[in-house]
Amino acid sequence: MELIGAIGAFLLAICTLPLSYSALKSGKSEINSGFLYLWTFGEIFTLIYLISIGERVIIWNYVANLVLLIPVIVYKLKPRK
């Protein structure tokens, strides 16, 4: 069962990859600001909870998502000209 959870966490983590790549390539983020902030804070709060209960397999999903969200957030706040 833990392997299934790990595979699911990996698949969810790479879902952010196309969005991150697009932001890096174009220098801007087309995603809605409200959605982006809700998504980011949801990831942060859930990660804090998972760390507190020691759910190691799923923690990597949230860490990966937050890392991949960094360029999206950066180019949303300051688009490249």
Q: Per-residue pLDDT tens for 1-49? A: 778 878 888 888 888 999 999 999 999 998 999 999 999 999 999 999 9
Nearest Cα residue to 22 out of 66, 71, 62: 71
Tokens of 10: 């990996």
Q: What is the pLDDT of residues 37-61, one digit of tens each?
A: 999 999 999 999 999 998 887 888 8
The structure's pTM equals: 0.80
Helix axes 56-77, 2-14, angle to 10 degrees: 10
Domain of 49, in residue numbers: 2-77
Q: What is the CATH number of the domain that holds 62?
A: 1.20.1280.290
* Number of compact structural domains in the chain: 1
